[in-house]
Amino acid sequence: MYDKTVRRRRAVLGLLVACSLVLLTAYFGESGGGTLHSIQRGTSEILNPVQEGASRALKPVRDLFGWFGDTIAAKGQVQELRSERDRLRSEVLRNEVRKDEYDRLSKLLELDGALGLDDYGPKTGRVIFQSATVWYATIRVDKGSDDGVEVGHPVLNEEALIGRVSEVFSGAAQVTLITDTTMKVPARAGARQEFGIVEPASAGNPTNLVMSLMQPGARVSVGERVVTRGTEPDDRRQSLYPVGLPIGAITRIENEGTDTQRVHLRPFADLRSLDFVQILTRPRGPRT
């Protein structure tokens, strides 16, 4: 039964092939006005409207598939653009950080030149830890005894004096800031070089220092600069701080002209944003 079915199918297939060959031969052999050509044209006239209608009916489907394809391609492009945007944004941020570091280091060098600090053995270090308390009273830097740092050495940033070394390790040092309640810095203020002691005005305020213990009748004005006093010839011991290191500017004066005069000043250095610092490893230098 199976063999008969196969033979029948083969016979039909052979007959169809033979008919196709005969028709093709006849079609290509006759003139353009022949019977087969006429049948083809008639069939085309009948089927063309059907094909056009089917094409119109299927156009939304084709458009839908095209929309899906375009959407997928667009999503891929968007993802690539986002990745490129993120890369460029990261690069911009890195460049901004490098620029900020370059600016800070440049200002440190400018301060060295302006104050003549090369004789004091400045060591440039980076802040690696800052106290989490509201006083911002201590920081830690990446320079220590291996770099010649000792307890008591003055520390500056690119703007002004910020404190002194209070503890030293082989590769790091702790710095107590001038806003710490234990800090007292001999200073001089204004054009008349009035002497006094600078210390924190109140705990928890890194923007307000006070200069007290001034000579009776000392005269200063708001806006004048306050700098370190340094060592005077008649001092019994040398100061930890070289003469003329910037500290801050006078903001207001209490009990002006009296023996209890207190001069408030704002530090030049932003003690809440410390990055690079310099430690003066030969702080005494020449006497003044």
In a domain, 181, yes or no: yes
In a domain, 67, yes or no: no
Confidence check: pLDDT of 137 > 90: no
Q: Examine the domain organization and report whether 49 and 127 are in the same domain.
A: no
Q: Examine the domain organization and report whether 143 and 20 are in the same domain.
A: no
How deeply is 113 buried, as exposed, middle or buried, from its count of CB atoms within 10 A (0-12, 13-18, 19+)? Answer: exposed
Q: Examine the domain organization and report whether 132 and 30 are in the same domain.
A: no
Residue after which a domain boundary falls, among 62, 77, 96: 62
Q: In the chain, pLDDT over 90 holds for what percent of residues?
A: 33
In a domain, 10, yes or no: yes
Model pLDDT, residue 287? 38
Q: Examine the domain organization and report whether 120 and 38 are in the same domain.
A: no
Single out the residue of 288, 182, 270 nearest to residue 232, CA to CA. Answer: 288
Confidence check: pLDDT of 130 > 60: yes
In a domain, 107, yes or no: no
In a domain, 81, yes or no: no
Q: Examine the domain organization and report whether 160 and 285 are in the same domain.
A: yes
Distance CA 87, CA 91 (A): 6
Of the listed ranges 38-52, 113-127, 266-280, the least confidently predicted one is 38-52
Residue after which a domain boundary falls, among 23, 46, 62: 62
Q: Examine the domain organization and report whether 285 and 179 are in the same domain.
A: yes
- Bigger pLDDT: 257 vs 88: 257
Confidence of residue 51 (pLDDT cuts 50, 70, 90): low
As for how many domains the chain has, the answer is 2
Cβ distance 37 to 24 under 8 Å?
A: no
The secondary structure element, H or E, covering residue 99 is helix 35-115
Positive or negative: CA dihedral 248, 251, 256, 257: positive
The secondary structure element, H or E, covering residue 155 is strand 154-156
Q: Examine the domain organization and report whether 134 and 198 are in the same domain.
A: yes
In a domain, 165, yes or no: yes
Q: Examine the domain organization and report whether 269 and 195 are in the same domain.
A: yes
Model pLDDT, residue 201? 85
Positive or negative: CA dihedral 42, 45, 50, 52: positive
Of the listed ranges 91-95, 100-104, 198-202, 281-285, the least confidently predicted one is 91-95
The secondary structure element, H or E, covering residue 143 is none
Q: Examine the domain organization and report whether 48 and 183 are in the same domain.
A: no
Q: Examine the domain organization and report whether 19 and 139 are in the same domain.
A: no
- 48 strand-pairing partners: none
Q: CA-based Rg of the chain, rounded to a whole angstrom? A: 45
Q: Examine the domain organization and report whether 188 and 45 are in the same domain.
A: no
pLDDT per position as a tens digit, 15-50 = 766 666 666 565 555 665 666 556 655 565 555 565
Name the average pLDDT for the chain.
78
Distance CA 53, CA 276 (A): 78
Strongest mean pLDDT among 45-54, 108-117, 179-188, 224-233: 179-188
pLDDT per position as a tens digit, 165-188 = 999 999 999 999 998 888 999 999
Q: Examine the domain organization and report whether 42 and 168 are in the same domain.
A: no
Distance of CA 120 to the CA centre of its chain: 33
Domain containing residue 189: 116-288
Cβ distance 208 to 241 under 8 Å?
A: no
Distance CA 276, CA 183 (A): 21
Residue after which a domain boundary falls, among 62, 85, 106: 62
